[in-house]
């Protein structure tokens, strides 16, 4: 099982500033059996409201500095955090998570759903394809 933690501001479309990842990305990942949630400096109340407003029932919300708590709650083989700042890098590494910069998720091609394009890339990368690099951006 894989756990994907998403930063909000600068990472998700509804963030402030908006990031490139649509909320549909989380929904589609969940459908694939991935544990998905947010790890942000926004308060827990704010994060819950954010997801409720987007109509997505997420698996977890945590404060960014509580990323290290997640492995104790979800027994997964891989832990991944996607974000856009050096705080994301710092807390992901502190928690032993892989960090992927949001800008490293490929832009969709014509006619491709952006969420699906990002998921395709994410799965390709998780499969170990050395030609794709999550640290870029």
Partner 1 sequence: MSAPAIHRSAAGMYRTTDGLGRWPYRGQVAAVGIGHSPTMRRWDGEAQTSIGAWCILAIRKAIADAGVSPAEVDGLVFDPETSTGSYWPADQPVPADFRAAFVPASDPLDGLAQLSPEWLLKNMPELTNVKFVMLASHCMSMAVAATVEAVGRGLTNVCVAVKGWHNFAGRYYQSGPNALPTVSGPGKHTPQSWAGPTCYGTAMQFERYLHKYGGSHDMMAPFVVNSRANGLLFPEGYFAQHRDTPITAEDYLTTRWIAKPANLLDNDMPIHAAAAYVFTTADRARDLKQPPVYVLGHAGGGTVQGDSYGPIPPRSCVETLEEAQANAASTARHVYEAAGVSASDIQFENCYDGFSLFHVFWIEGFGFAGVKEGECLDFFQTDISINGPNPVSPSGGNIGSGRTRFWGWTDTIQQLQGRAGARQLKIDAHCGLVGAFMPIWSNFAVLSKDPG
Interface residue list for partner 1 (CB under 8 A): 16-17, 41, 43-46, 49, 63-66, 85
Decide whether 69 or 120 has the Cβ nearer to partner 1: 69
Q: Are 12 and 82 in contact (CB under 8 A)?
A: no
Q: Are 21 and 11 in contact (CB under 8 A)?
A: yes
Decide whether 31 or 96 has the Cβ nearer to partner 1: 96
Enter the tokens of residue 52.
Answer: 């409720």
Q: How far is the CB of 59 from partner 1 (least distance, A)?
A: 19
Q: How far is the CB of 39 from partner 1 (least distance, A)?
A: 11
Q: Which residues of 62-89 are buried (b: 16+ CB within 10 A; e: fewer)?
A: bbbeebeebeeeeeeeebbbbbbbeebe
Q: How far is the CB of 29 from partner 1 (least distance, A)?
A: 25
Q: How far is the CB of 108 from partner 1 (least distance, A)?
A: 23
Decide whether 27 or 48 has the Cβ nearer to partner 1: 48
Decide whether 41 or 103 has the Cβ nearer to partner 1: 41
Q: Which residues pair with 78 in a beta bridge?
A: 2
Kindly list the distances between the CA atom of residue 117 and the CA atoms of 20, 22, 41, 64, 121, in Å, as whole numbers in the listed order.
Answer: 12, 11, 27, 26, 6
């Amino acid at each position: 099982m894989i756990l994907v933690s998403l930063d909000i501001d600068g990472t998700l479309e509804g963030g402030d500033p908006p990031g490139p990842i649509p909320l549909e990305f989380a929904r589609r990942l969940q459908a694939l059996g991935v544990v998905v949630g947010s790890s942000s400096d926004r308060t827990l109340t704010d994060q819950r409201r954010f997801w409720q407003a987007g109509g997505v029932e997420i698996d977890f919300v945590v404060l960014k500095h509580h990323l290290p708590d997640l492995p104790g709650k979800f027994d997964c083989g891989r832990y991944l955090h996607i974000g856009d700042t050096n705080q994301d890098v710092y807390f992901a590494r502190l928690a032993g998570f892989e960090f992927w910069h949001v800008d490293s998720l490929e832009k969709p091609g014509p006619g491709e759903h952006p969420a699906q394009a990002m998921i395709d890339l994410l799965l390709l990368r998780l499969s170990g394809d050395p030609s794709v690099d999550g640290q870029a951006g």
